[in-house]
Chains A and B, each alone.
Chain A
Amino acid sequence: MTDILEVTELEVTYQRSIRALHGVNLRVAKGQITALLGANGAGKSTTLRAISGFIGLDNARVTAGNVRYLGEDITGLQLPKTIHKGIVLVPERDKVFTNLTVAENLEVVSTTRAEGSNWRQIEEEIFVYFPRLAKLRNKPAGLLSGGERQMLAIGSALVCKPNLLLIDELSLGLAPVIVDEIIERLRDIHARTDLSILLVEQSAAVAFALASYGFVLENGKVELEGATQDLRTNQKILELYLGTGSAGRADYLANARRRREERANV
Protein backbone atom coordinates (compact mmCIF):
# COMPACT_ATOMS: atom_id res chain seq x y z
CA MET A 1 0.00 0.00 0.00
CA THR A 2 1.43 3.39 -0.91
CA ASP A 3 1.58 6.26 1.50
CA ILE A 4 0.13 9.63 0.56
CA LEU A 5 1.90 11.31 3.46
CA GLU A 6 5.12 10.45 5.21
CA VAL A 7 6.39 12.48 8.14
CA THR A 8 9.93 11.73 9.31
CA GLU A 9 11.62 12.98 12.48
CA LEU A 10 9.59 16.20 12.40
CA GLU A 11 10.59 18.95 14.79
CA VAL A 12 8.68 22.23 15.11
CA THR A 13 9.80 25.27 17.07
CA TYR A 14 7.56 28.17 18.05
CA GLN A 15 8.98 31.68 18.42
CA ARG A 16 12.49 30.37 17.75
CA SER A 17 12.76 28.75 21.16
CA ILE A 18 9.78 26.65 22.19
CA ARG A 19 10.10 23.15 20.77
CA ALA A 20 6.66 21.55 20.32
CA LEU A 21 7.59 18.39 18.41
CA HIS A 22 10.60 16.19 19.10
CA GLY A 23 10.92 14.01 16.02
CA VAL A 24 7.49 12.79 15.00
CA ASN A 25 7.26 9.86 12.58
CA LEU A 26 3.99 8.94 10.95
CA ARG A 27 2.48 7.79 7.69
CA VAL A 28 -0.94 8.07 6.11
CA ALA A 29 -1.81 5.31 3.67
CA LYS A 30 -3.53 6.39 0.48
CA GLY A 31 -7.29 6.18 0.68
CA GLN A 32 -7.22 5.23 4.36
CA ILE A 33 -8.30 6.93 7.55
CA THR A 34 -5.43 7.24 10.01
CA ALA A 35 -5.81 8.43 13.57
CA LEU A 36 -3.41 10.43 15.68
CA LEU A 37 -4.21 9.98 19.36
CA GLY A 38 -2.87 11.88 22.30
CA ALA A 39 -3.66 13.98 25.33
CA ASN A 40 -3.79 17.76 25.51
CA GLY A 41 -0.49 19.37 24.64
CA ALA A 42 0.96 16.20 23.15
CA GLY A 43 1.65 18.03 19.88
CA LYS A 44 -1.20 16.73 17.74
CA SER A 45 -2.41 20.11 16.50
CA THR A 46 1.13 21.27 15.84
CA THR A 47 1.75 18.18 13.74
CA LEU A 48 -1.33 18.92 11.63
CA ARG A 49 -0.46 22.61 11.31
CA ALA A 50 3.07 21.74 10.24
CA ILE A 51 1.73 19.45 7.51
CA SER A 52 -0.96 21.86 6.30
CA GLY A 53 1.42 24.82 6.32
CA PHE A 54 2.01 27.69 8.70
CA ILE A 55 1.51 31.33 7.89
CA GLY A 56 3.81 34.18 8.96
CA LEU A 57 1.42 34.98 11.81
CA ASP A 58 2.12 31.67 13.55
CA ASN A 59 5.77 32.42 14.20
CA ALA A 60 6.47 28.70 13.92
CA ARG A 61 9.03 26.81 11.91
CA VAL A 62 9.91 23.24 11.00
CA THR A 63 13.45 22.96 12.38
CA ALA A 64 14.23 19.35 11.50
CA GLY A 65 12.84 16.35 9.72
CA ASN A 66 10.69 16.37 6.65
CA VAL A 67 7.21 15.95 5.27
CA ARG A 68 6.72 14.03 2.04
CA TYR A 69 3.42 14.19 0.22
CA LEU A 70 2.85 11.93 -2.79
CA GLY A 71 6.59 11.35 -2.86
CA GLU A 72 7.37 15.06 -2.99
CA ASP A 73 9.19 16.93 -0.23
CA ILE A 74 6.82 19.64 1.03
CA THR A 75 8.58 20.45 4.32
CA GLY A 76 7.93 24.03 5.36
CA LEU A 77 5.61 24.74 2.45
CA GLN A 78 3.27 27.56 3.48
CA LEU A 79 -0.39 28.30 2.90
CA PRO A 80 -2.02 28.56 0.41
CA LYS A 81 0.39 26.39 -1.62
CA THR A 82 -0.40 23.32 0.46
CA ILE A 83 -4.08 23.75 -0.37
CA HIS A 84 -3.28 23.89 -4.06
CA LYS A 85 -1.54 20.55 -3.62
CA GLY A 86 -4.69 19.11 -2.03
CA ILE A 87 -3.87 19.18 1.68
CA VAL A 88 -6.74 20.76 3.61
CA LEU A 89 -7.13 21.25 7.35
CA VAL A 90 -10.27 21.37 9.49
CA PRO A 91 -8.97 23.38 12.45
CA GLU A 92 -9.84 22.67 16.06
CA ARG A 93 -11.20 26.05 17.10
CA ASP A 94 -12.69 28.91 15.03
CA LYS A 95 -13.48 26.55 12.19
CA VAL A 96 -16.24 28.57 10.49
CA PHE A 97 -16.68 32.23 9.60
CA THR A 98 -19.28 33.17 12.22
CA ASN A 99 -20.37 36.38 10.46
CA LEU A 100 -21.14 34.57 7.21
CA THR A 101 -24.12 32.36 6.44
CA VAL A 102 -23.75 28.64 5.90
CA ALA A 103 -23.96 29.03 2.12
CA GLU A 104 -21.48 31.93 2.17
CA ASN A 105 -19.07 29.83 4.22
CA LEU A 106 -19.00 27.36 1.35
CA GLU A 107 -18.82 30.05 -1.31
CA VAL A 108 -15.83 32.00 0.02
CA VAL A 109 -13.59 28.97 -0.29
CA SER A 110 -11.04 29.61 -2.96
CA THR A 111 -8.55 27.29 -4.50
CA THR A 112 -7.44 26.97 -8.04
CA ARG A 113 -9.29 23.66 -7.92
CA ALA A 114 -12.65 25.09 -6.87
CA GLU A 115 -12.36 28.36 -8.74
CA GLY A 116 -14.33 28.62 -11.91
CA SER A 117 -16.38 25.53 -11.27
CA ASN A 118 -20.09 25.70 -10.85
CA TRP A 119 -21.04 27.05 -7.47
CA ARG A 120 -24.52 25.72 -6.92
CA GLN A 121 -23.30 22.29 -7.92
CA ILE A 122 -20.47 22.32 -5.38
CA GLU A 123 -22.87 23.53 -2.70
CA GLU A 124 -25.39 20.83 -3.51
CA GLU A 125 -22.66 18.16 -3.33
CA ILE A 126 -21.83 19.27 0.20
CA PHE A 127 -25.51 19.34 1.13
CA VAL A 128 -25.80 15.74 -0.05
CA TYR A 129 -23.09 14.77 2.43
CA PHE A 130 -24.61 16.91 5.18
CA PRO A 131 -28.37 17.21 4.57
CA ARG A 132 -28.74 19.03 7.87
CA LEU A 133 -26.77 21.98 6.46
CA ALA A 134 -29.13 22.43 3.52
CA LYS A 135 -31.89 23.55 5.87
CA LEU A 136 -29.54 26.02 7.56
CA ARG A 137 -28.33 27.49 4.27
CA ASN A 138 -29.14 31.12 5.09
CA LYS A 139 -28.42 31.04 8.80
CA PRO A 140 -25.32 32.86 10.12
CA ALA A 141 -22.71 30.26 11.03
CA GLY A 142 -22.28 31.97 14.41
CA LEU A 143 -25.71 30.66 15.40
CA LEU A 144 -24.96 27.01 14.60
CA SER A 145 -24.47 24.34 17.25
CA GLY A 146 -21.06 22.75 17.74
CA GLY A 147 -21.99 19.69 15.69
CA GLU A 148 -23.38 21.78 12.84
CA ARG A 149 -20.23 23.89 12.86
CA GLN A 150 -18.12 20.75 12.60
CA MET A 151 -20.19 19.58 9.64
CA LEU A 152 -19.90 22.97 7.96
CA ALA A 153 -16.15 23.04 8.61
CA ILE A 154 -15.72 19.61 7.04
CA GLY A 155 -18.02 20.67 4.20
CA SER A 156 -16.08 23.83 3.41
CA ALA A 157 -12.83 21.87 3.58
CA LEU A 158 -14.28 19.43 1.05
CA VAL A 159 -15.00 22.34 -1.32
CA CYS A 160 -11.21 22.71 -1.58
CA LYS A 161 -11.26 19.25 -3.20
CA PRO A 162 -8.64 17.71 -0.92
CA ASN A 163 -6.65 14.54 -1.52
CA LEU A 164 -5.62 14.55 2.10
CA LEU A 165 -8.00 15.87 4.72
CA LEU A 166 -6.58 16.73 8.13
CA ILE A 167 -9.16 16.94 10.91
CA ASP A 168 -8.17 18.45 14.24
CA GLU A 169 -10.33 17.13 17.10
CA LEU A 170 -13.36 15.66 15.39
CA SER A 171 -15.37 14.88 18.52
CA LEU A 172 -14.10 17.38 21.09
CA GLY A 173 -16.95 19.08 22.94
CA LEU A 174 -19.71 17.44 20.92
CA ALA A 175 -22.66 15.41 22.18
CA PRO A 176 -22.27 11.64 21.62
CA VAL A 177 -25.33 11.47 19.36
CA ILE A 178 -23.83 14.20 17.12
CA VAL A 179 -20.46 12.46 17.11
CA ASP A 180 -22.18 9.28 15.89
CA GLU A 181 -23.84 11.22 13.09
CA ILE A 182 -20.60 12.86 12.01
CA ILE A 183 -18.76 9.53 12.10
CA GLU A 184 -21.44 8.06 9.87
CA ARG A 185 -21.24 11.04 7.47
CA LEU A 186 -17.45 10.77 7.30
CA ARG A 187 -17.63 7.04 6.57
CA ASP A 188 -20.07 7.84 3.80
CA ILE A 189 -17.82 10.54 2.33
CA HIS A 190 -14.81 8.26 2.61
CA ALA A 191 -16.67 5.46 0.84
CA ARG A 192 -17.70 7.72 -2.04
CA THR A 193 -14.33 9.36 -2.62
CA ASP A 194 -10.74 8.22 -2.53
CA LEU A 195 -10.01 10.73 0.20
CA SER A 196 -7.19 10.01 2.65
CA ILE A 197 -7.85 11.33 6.14
CA LEU A 198 -5.56 12.05 9.08
CA LEU A 199 -7.69 12.39 12.16
CA VAL A 200 -6.53 13.92 15.43
CA GLU A 201 -8.50 12.66 18.42
CA GLN A 202 -8.48 12.56 22.17
CA SER A 203 -11.19 9.93 22.22
CA ALA A 204 -9.86 6.49 21.41
CA ALA A 205 -13.40 5.25 20.82
CA VAL A 206 -13.97 7.73 17.98
CA ALA A 207 -10.54 7.09 16.52
CA PHE A 208 -11.06 3.34 16.54
CA ALA A 209 -14.53 3.66 15.03
CA LEU A 210 -13.18 5.45 11.97
CA ALA A 211 -9.52 4.72 11.46
CA SER A 212 -7.78 1.61 10.22
CA TYR A 213 -4.38 2.61 11.56
CA GLY A 214 -3.36 4.73 14.50
CA PHE A 215 -0.45 6.59 16.05
CA VAL A 216 -0.22 7.63 19.67
CA LEU A 217 1.57 10.89 20.35
CA GLU A 218 3.05 11.69 23.73
CA ASN A 219 5.16 14.76 24.61
CA GLY A 220 5.95 15.55 20.99
CA LYS A 221 6.93 11.98 20.01
CA VAL A 222 5.09 9.00 18.61
CA GLU A 223 5.10 6.41 21.38
CA LEU A 224 3.00 3.71 19.78
CA GLU A 225 1.55 2.78 16.42
CA GLY A 226 -0.38 -0.03 14.87
CA ALA A 227 -3.54 -1.21 13.15
CA THR A 228 -6.54 -0.07 15.18
CA GLN A 229 -7.69 -3.62 15.93
CA ASP A 230 -4.31 -4.21 17.58
CA LEU A 231 -4.34 -0.90 19.39
CA ARG A 232 -7.81 -1.58 20.69
CA THR A 233 -6.55 -4.49 22.75
CA ASN A 234 -3.24 -2.90 23.69
CA GLN A 235 -2.90 -2.50 27.45
CA LYS A 236 -0.35 0.25 27.13
CA ILE A 237 -2.50 2.54 25.05
CA LEU A 238 -5.02 3.08 27.82
CA GLU A 239 -2.31 4.38 30.13
CA LEU A 240 -0.47 6.22 27.39
CA TYR A 241 -3.10 8.34 25.83
CA LEU A 242 -4.52 9.23 29.21
CA GLY A 243 -1.19 10.90 29.90
CA THR A 244 1.30 10.28 32.68
CA GLY A 245 0.23 10.87 36.24
CA SER A 246 -3.38 9.92 35.68
CA ALA A 247 -2.97 6.49 37.18
CA GLY A 248 -6.22 6.97 39.05
CA ARG A 249 -8.14 7.15 35.80
CA ALA A 250 -6.27 4.16 34.42
CA ASP A 251 -7.15 2.22 37.57
CA TYR A 252 -10.75 3.16 37.13
CA LEU A 253 -10.73 1.86 33.58
CA ALA A 254 -8.93 -1.32 34.64
CA ASN A 255 -11.51 -1.86 37.36
CA ALA A 256 -14.30 -1.27 34.92
CA ARG A 257 -12.80 -3.83 32.60
CA ARG A 258 -12.44 -6.33 35.41
CA ARG A 259 -16.06 -5.82 36.44
CA ARG A 260 -17.15 -6.34 32.86
CA GLU A 261 -15.17 -9.56 32.64
CA GLU A 262 -16.62 -10.75 35.92
CA ARG A 263 -20.11 -10.12 34.66
CA ALA A 264 -19.29 -11.96 31.47
CA ASN A 265 -18.00 -14.93 33.47
CA VAL A 266 -21.12 -15.20 35.59
Chain B
Amino acid sequence: MQILANIVVLTSLYALVACGYVLVYKVSRVLNLAHGELMILGAYLLVATSAGIASDPLAAIALTAMFSIVVGLSVYLLLMRKMTGQPVLAAVLTTVALGILLRGAMVLIWGPQQLNVGAMISFDNASIALTDSVRVSTAALWLVVCTFLVYLGLLAFLHMSRWGMRMRASGQNALLAAQRGINLHTVYALAWTLSTFSGSLAGVLVTLDSRIDVNMAVIGLKAFPAALVGGLDSLPGALIGAGVIAALEVLLIHYVNPLLSDVVPFLVLIAILIVRPWGLYGTKEELNRV
Protein backbone atom coordinates (compact mmCIF):
# COMPACT_ATOMS: atom_id res chain seq x y z
CA MET B 1 0.00 0.00 0.00
CA GLN B 2 2.85 2.36 0.81
CA ILE B 3 4.15 1.67 -2.71
CA LEU B 4 0.83 2.74 -4.18
CA ALA B 5 0.93 5.96 -2.17
CA ASN B 6 4.48 6.60 -3.38
CA ILE B 7 3.39 6.04 -6.97
CA VAL B 8 0.52 8.52 -6.62
CA VAL B 9 2.80 11.17 -5.12
CA LEU B 10 5.48 10.73 -7.78
CA THR B 11 2.82 10.70 -10.50
CA SER B 12 1.52 14.02 -9.19
CA LEU B 13 4.99 15.53 -9.26
CA TYR B 14 5.76 14.39 -12.80
CA ALA B 15 2.30 15.34 -14.00
CA LEU B 16 2.53 18.84 -12.53
CA VAL B 17 5.92 19.39 -14.16
CA ALA B 18 4.89 17.72 -17.43
CA CYS B 19 1.84 19.92 -17.97
CA GLY B 20 4.24 22.86 -18.33
CA TYR B 21 5.96 21.17 -21.27
CA VAL B 22 2.59 20.27 -22.76
CA LEU B 23 1.13 23.78 -22.50
CA VAL B 24 3.98 25.49 -24.32
CA TYR B 25 4.38 22.72 -26.88
CA LYS B 26 0.66 22.42 -27.58
CA VAL B 27 0.31 26.11 -28.29
CA SER B 28 3.57 27.07 -29.96
CA ARG B 29 5.24 23.75 -30.93
CA VAL B 30 8.26 24.85 -28.92
CA LEU B 31 9.86 22.40 -26.53
CA ASN B 32 10.85 24.33 -23.42
CA LEU B 33 14.07 22.70 -22.26
CA ALA B 34 14.49 25.31 -19.51
CA HIS B 35 11.39 24.07 -17.73
CA GLY B 36 13.35 22.23 -15.02
CA GLU B 37 15.37 25.34 -14.24
CA LEU B 38 12.26 27.52 -14.20
CA MET B 39 10.72 25.03 -11.79
CA ILE B 40 13.64 25.29 -9.36
CA LEU B 41 13.69 29.06 -9.83
CA GLY B 42 10.16 28.98 -8.42
CA ALA B 43 11.47 27.23 -5.32
CA TYR B 44 14.32 29.74 -4.95
CA LEU B 45 11.78 32.54 -5.27
CA LEU B 46 10.17 31.07 -2.17
CA VAL B 47 13.56 31.23 -0.43
CA ALA B 48 13.88 34.88 -1.44
CA THR B 49 10.34 35.75 -0.39
CA SER B 50 10.61 34.03 2.98
CA ALA B 51 13.97 35.67 3.69
CA GLY B 52 12.87 39.20 2.96
CA ILE B 53 9.15 39.76 2.77
CA ALA B 54 6.83 37.21 4.28
CA SER B 55 7.40 34.81 7.14
CA ASP B 56 4.00 33.17 7.13
CA PRO B 57 4.16 30.00 4.98
CA LEU B 58 0.91 30.61 3.10
CA ALA B 59 1.67 34.27 2.39
CA ALA B 60 5.14 33.33 1.19
CA ILE B 61 3.79 30.67 -1.14
CA ALA B 62 1.11 33.00 -2.51
CA LEU B 63 3.71 35.70 -3.19
CA THR B 64 5.97 33.16 -4.85
CA ALA B 65 3.11 32.12 -7.12
CA MET B 66 2.68 35.74 -8.17
CA PHE B 67 6.41 36.15 -8.80
CA SER B 68 6.42 33.00 -10.91
CA ILE B 69 3.72 34.52 -13.11
CA VAL B 70 5.95 37.56 -13.59
CA VAL B 71 8.87 35.28 -14.44
CA GLY B 72 6.86 33.35 -17.04
CA LEU B 73 5.59 36.53 -18.63
CA SER B 74 9.09 38.02 -18.71
CA VAL B 75 10.57 34.90 -20.32
CA TYR B 76 8.07 35.26 -23.13
CA LEU B 77 8.18 39.02 -23.54
CA LEU B 78 11.93 39.47 -23.26
CA LEU B 79 13.12 36.31 -24.94
CA MET B 80 10.68 34.00 -26.67
CA ARG B 81 8.65 36.76 -28.31
CA LYS B 82 11.59 37.40 -30.61
CA MET B 83 11.45 33.75 -31.62
CA THR B 84 7.88 33.88 -32.93
CA GLY B 85 8.02 33.16 -36.64
CA GLN B 86 11.58 31.85 -36.42
CA PRO B 87 12.37 28.18 -37.03
CA VAL B 88 11.34 26.00 -34.09
CA LEU B 89 14.92 24.78 -33.66
CA ALA B 90 16.09 28.33 -32.93
CA ALA B 91 13.41 28.67 -30.25
CA VAL B 92 14.29 25.33 -28.65
CA LEU B 93 17.99 26.20 -28.58
CA THR B 94 17.07 29.51 -26.96
CA THR B 95 15.37 27.63 -24.16
CA VAL B 96 18.49 25.46 -23.72
CA ALA B 97 20.56 28.63 -23.38
CA LEU B 98 18.03 30.08 -20.96
CA GLY B 99 18.23 26.94 -18.83
CA ILE B 100 22.02 27.09 -18.59
CA LEU B 101 21.88 30.80 -17.84
CA LEU B 102 19.29 30.33 -15.08
CA ARG B 103 21.26 27.50 -13.53
CA GLY B 104 24.38 29.64 -13.37
CA ALA B 105 22.50 32.63 -12.02
CA MET B 106 20.84 30.58 -9.29
CA VAL B 107 24.20 29.20 -8.11
CA LEU B 108 25.60 32.74 -8.09
CA ILE B 109 22.72 34.13 -6.08
CA TRP B 110 21.85 31.32 -3.68
CA GLY B 111 25.07 29.30 -3.67
CA PRO B 112 25.70 25.66 -4.43
CA GLN B 113 24.83 24.31 -0.97
CA GLN B 114 21.52 22.71 -0.06
CA LEU B 115 18.95 24.93 1.61
CA ASN B 116 16.12 23.82 3.83
CA VAL B 117 13.20 25.87 2.53
CA GLY B 118 10.68 24.27 4.87
CA ALA B 119 12.60 25.48 7.89
CA MET B 120 12.94 28.97 6.41
CA ILE B 121 9.21 29.52 6.18
CA SER B 122 8.58 27.38 9.29
CA PHE B 123 6.56 24.90 7.26
CA ASP B 124 5.72 21.85 9.33
CA ASN B 125 6.27 18.91 6.99
CA ALA B 126 4.80 16.34 9.37
CA SER B 127 4.20 12.80 8.24
CA ILE B 128 0.50 12.04 8.00
CA ALA B 129 -0.84 8.53 8.52
CA LEU B 130 -3.44 7.76 5.87
CA THR B 131 -3.93 4.25 7.26
CA ASP B 132 -1.96 2.26 9.82
CA SER B 133 0.72 1.29 7.35
CA VAL B 134 0.60 4.16 4.82
CA ARG B 135 2.23 7.48 5.63
CA VAL B 136 2.87 10.50 3.41
CA SER B 137 4.39 13.88 4.20
CA THR B 138 2.27 17.03 4.37
CA ALA B 139 4.06 18.52 1.35
CA ALA B 140 3.42 15.37 -0.67
CA LEU B 141 -0.25 15.54 0.20
CA TRP B 142 -0.32 19.17 -0.94
CA LEU B 143 1.40 18.12 -4.13
CA VAL B 144 -1.32 15.59 -4.95
CA VAL B 145 -4.08 18.08 -4.19
CA CYS B 146 -2.43 20.88 -6.20
CA THR B 147 -1.81 18.66 -9.21
CA PHE B 148 -5.43 17.60 -9.21
CA LEU B 149 -6.61 21.21 -8.98
CA VAL B 150 -4.18 22.46 -11.63
CA TYR B 151 -5.28 19.79 -14.12
CA LEU B 152 -8.93 20.42 -13.40
CA GLY B 153 -8.42 24.15 -13.79
CA LEU B 154 -6.38 23.86 -16.97
CA LEU B 155 -8.81 21.50 -18.67
CA ALA B 156 -11.74 23.73 -17.77
CA PHE B 157 -9.83 26.78 -18.99
CA LEU B 158 -8.79 25.22 -22.30
CA HIS B 159 -12.25 23.93 -23.12
CA MET B 160 -14.63 26.45 -21.63
CA SER B 161 -13.03 29.87 -21.83
CA ARG B 162 -12.54 31.78 -25.06
CA TRP B 163 -8.86 32.38 -24.43
CA GLY B 164 -8.40 28.70 -23.69
CA MET B 165 -10.07 27.81 -26.98
CA ARG B 166 -7.85 30.33 -28.71
CA MET B 167 -4.80 28.58 -27.24
CA ARG B 168 -5.98 25.26 -28.68
CA ALA B 169 -6.82 26.93 -31.99
CA SER B 170 -3.43 28.63 -32.29
CA GLY B 171 -1.65 25.37 -31.57
CA GLN B 172 -3.55 23.66 -34.34
CA ASN B 173 -3.11 26.36 -36.98
CA ALA B 174 -1.24 29.54 -36.09
CA LEU B 175 -1.71 31.17 -39.50
CA LEU B 176 -5.47 30.69 -39.45
CA ALA B 177 -5.55 31.97 -35.88
CA ALA B 178 -3.87 35.17 -37.05
CA GLN B 179 -6.31 35.38 -39.96
CA ARG B 180 -9.17 35.16 -37.48
CA GLY B 181 -7.84 38.10 -35.50
CA ILE B 182 -6.39 36.11 -32.60
CA ASN B 183 -3.39 37.87 -31.14
CA LEU B 184 -0.73 35.15 -31.16
CA HIS B 185 1.51 37.04 -28.76
CA THR B 186 -1.21 37.07 -26.11
CA VAL B 187 -1.81 33.36 -26.61
CA TYR B 188 1.89 32.48 -26.36
CA ALA B 189 2.43 34.74 -23.36
CA LEU B 190 -0.51 33.02 -21.66
CA ALA B 191 0.98 29.59 -22.35
CA TRP B 192 4.38 30.56 -20.96
CA THR B 193 2.83 32.14 -17.90
CA LEU B 194 0.65 29.15 -17.07
CA SER B 195 3.51 26.78 -17.75
CA THR B 196 5.93 28.63 -15.48
CA PHE B 197 3.30 28.99 -12.80
CA SER B 198 2.52 25.27 -12.65
CA GLY B 199 6.23 24.43 -12.87
CA SER B 200 7.09 26.78 -10.01
CA LEU B 201 4.30 25.28 -7.95
CA ALA B 202 5.83 21.86 -8.49
CA GLY B 203 9.26 23.24 -7.60
CA VAL B 204 8.02 24.79 -4.37
CA LEU B 205 6.17 21.67 -3.24
CA VAL B 206 8.94 19.23 -4.09
CA THR B 207 11.58 21.30 -2.31
CA LEU B 208 9.34 21.69 0.74
CA ASP B 209 9.35 17.92 0.86
CA SER B 210 13.15 17.71 0.81
CA ARG B 211 15.87 20.32 0.40
CA ILE B 212 16.63 22.62 -2.47
CA ASP B 213 19.69 22.82 -4.67
CA VAL B 214 20.23 23.67 -8.30
CA ASN B 215 20.69 20.05 -9.35
CA MET B 216 17.04 19.39 -8.63
CA ALA B 217 16.35 20.85 -12.05
CA VAL B 218 16.93 17.29 -13.22
CA ILE B 219 13.37 16.54 -12.06
CA GLY B 220 12.27 18.69 -14.98
CA LEU B 221 14.27 16.48 -17.29
CA LYS B 222 12.78 13.35 -15.72
CA ALA B 223 9.25 14.67 -16.17
CA PHE B 224 9.88 15.26 -19.87
CA PRO B 225 9.50 11.54 -20.73
CA ALA B 226 6.16 11.67 -18.92
CA ALA B 227 4.99 14.45 -21.22
CA LEU B 228 6.27 12.61 -24.26
CA VAL B 229 4.81 9.20 -23.37
CA GLY B 230 1.35 10.76 -23.21
CA GLY B 231 1.91 12.72 -26.39
CA LEU B 232 3.46 16.16 -26.10
CA ASP B 233 0.28 18.04 -26.92
CA SER B 234 -2.23 16.26 -24.69
CA LEU B 235 -2.90 17.15 -21.06
CA PRO B 236 -4.71 13.91 -20.14
CA GLY B 237 -1.89 12.14 -21.95
CA ALA B 238 0.67 13.86 -19.71
CA LEU B 239 -1.21 12.66 -16.65
CA ILE B 240 -1.19 9.07 -17.89
CA GLY B 241 2.42 9.34 -19.02
CA ALA B 242 3.37 10.57 -15.57
CA GLY B 243 1.56 7.59 -14.07
CA VAL B 244 3.43 5.15 -16.29
CA ILE B 245 6.85 6.64 -15.55
CA ALA B 246 6.20 6.98 -11.82
CA ALA B 247 4.86 3.45 -11.43
CA LEU B 248 7.82 1.94 -13.27
CA GLU B 249 10.28 4.03 -11.30
CA VAL B 250 8.82 3.24 -7.88
CA LEU B 251 8.42 -0.46 -8.61
CA LEU B 252 11.93 -0.86 -10.00
CA ILE B 253 13.43 1.05 -7.08
CA HIS B 254 11.58 -1.12 -4.65
CA TYR B 255 12.05 -4.52 -6.24
CA VAL B 256 15.22 -4.21 -8.27
CA ASN B 257 17.70 -1.48 -7.53
CA PRO B 258 17.34 2.09 -6.20
CA LEU B 259 20.08 3.24 -8.57
CA LEU B 260 17.67 2.70 -11.48
CA SER B 261 15.58 5.72 -10.52
CA ASP B 262 17.52 8.14 -12.73
CA VAL B 263 17.57 5.80 -15.69
CA VAL B 264 14.01 4.48 -15.91
CA PRO B 265 12.29 7.59 -17.33
CA PHE B 266 14.81 7.80 -20.14
CA LEU B 267 14.56 4.10 -20.95
CA VAL B 268 10.83 4.61 -21.33
CA LEU B 269 11.52 7.75 -23.39
CA ILE B 270 13.69 5.85 -25.85
CA ALA B 271 11.24 2.97 -26.02
CA ILE B 272 8.29 5.25 -26.80
CA LEU B 273 10.30 7.22 -29.37
CA ILE B 274 10.99 3.98 -31.21
CA VAL B 275 7.53 2.46 -30.98
CA ARG B 276 5.16 5.44 -31.02
CA PRO B 277 6.95 8.77 -31.46
CA TRP B 278 3.76 10.81 -31.20
CA GLY B 279 2.96 9.32 -27.78
CA LEU B 280 -0.15 7.64 -26.48
CA TYR B 281 -2.57 10.52 -27.05
CA GLY B 282 -0.58 12.96 -29.14
CA THR B 283 -1.40 14.27 -32.58
CA LYS B 284 0.00 11.81 -35.06
CA GLU B 285 0.98 14.24 -37.80
CA GLU B 286 3.48 15.98 -35.60
CA LEU B 287 6.53 13.94 -36.35
CA ASN B 288 9.00 16.70 -37.13
CA ARG B 289 9.93 17.20 -33.51
CA VAL B 290 13.02 19.00 -32.42
Contacts and interface: CB of A to CB of B under 8 A. Distances in A.
Interface stretch (B10-18, B59-67, B123-131, B172-180): B172-180
A95 B84 CA distance: 21
A244 B179 CA distance: 33
Contact of A107 (B162, B171, B176, B179): B162
B169 A100 contact: yes
Contact of B183 (A57, A80, A98, A157): A80
Given A99-B168, A104-B165, A94 B175 contact: yes
Interface string A88-115: 1101001111111000110111110010
Contact of A108 (B85, B166, B174): B166
B93 interface: no
B182 interface: yes
Nearest to A141: B172
Contact of B176 (A80, A83, A95, A160): A95
Contacts of A56: 84-85
A79 interface: yes
Contacts of A110: 162, 166, 180-183
A83 B177 CA distance: 12
Nearest to A95: B176
Contact of B168 (A96, A97, A111, A157): A97
A94 B285 CA distance: 14
Contact of B178 (A80, A95, A105): A80
A19 interface: no
A107 B165 contact: yes
A98 B179 contact: no
A156 B85 contact: no
Contacts of B178: 55, 79-80
A47 interface: no
A202 interface: no
A84 B181 contact: yes
A80 B85 CA distance: 15
B92 to A, nearest CB: 17
Nearest to B186: A110
Contacts of B176: 91, 94-97
A108 B84 contact: no
A95 B174 CA distance: 11
A75 interface: no
B181 A100 contact: no
Contact of B172 (A52, A89, A91, A97): A97
B175 A108 contact: no
A216 to B, nearest CB: 26
Q: For the side of the interface on A, what is the size category?
A: 20 to 34
Interface string A160-202: 1000000000000000000000000000000000000000000
Interface string B134-162: 00000000000000000000000000001
Contacts of A89: 179
Contacts of A52: 179
Interface string A127-139: 0000000000000
Contacts of A97: 168-169, 172-173, 176-177
B182 A108 contact: yes
B181 A160 contact: yes
Contacts of A83: 179-181
Contacts of B181: 79-80, 83-84, 109-111, 114, 160
Contacts of B169: 97, 99-100, 104-105, 108
Contact of A55 (B85, B173, B180): B85
Contacts of A156: 180
Interface string A33-60: 0000000000000000000100111000
A114 B166 CA distance: 14
Interface in B106-130: none
Interface of A: 52, 55-57, 79-80, 83-84, 88-89, 91, 94-100, 104-105, 107-111, 114, 156-157, 160
Shortest 9 CB-CB contacts between residues of A and residues of B: A56-B85, A111-B181, A83-B181, A97-B169, A79-B178, A108-B169, A110-B181, A108-B165, A57-B85
23 contacts: A52-B179, A56-B84, A80-B182, A83-B179, A83-B181, A88-B179, A91-B176, A96-B176, A97-B168, A97-B169, A97-B176, A98-B172, A99-B172, A104-B165, A107-B162, A108-B166, A108-B177, A109-B180, A110-B162, A110-B180, A110-B181, A110-B183, A114-B181
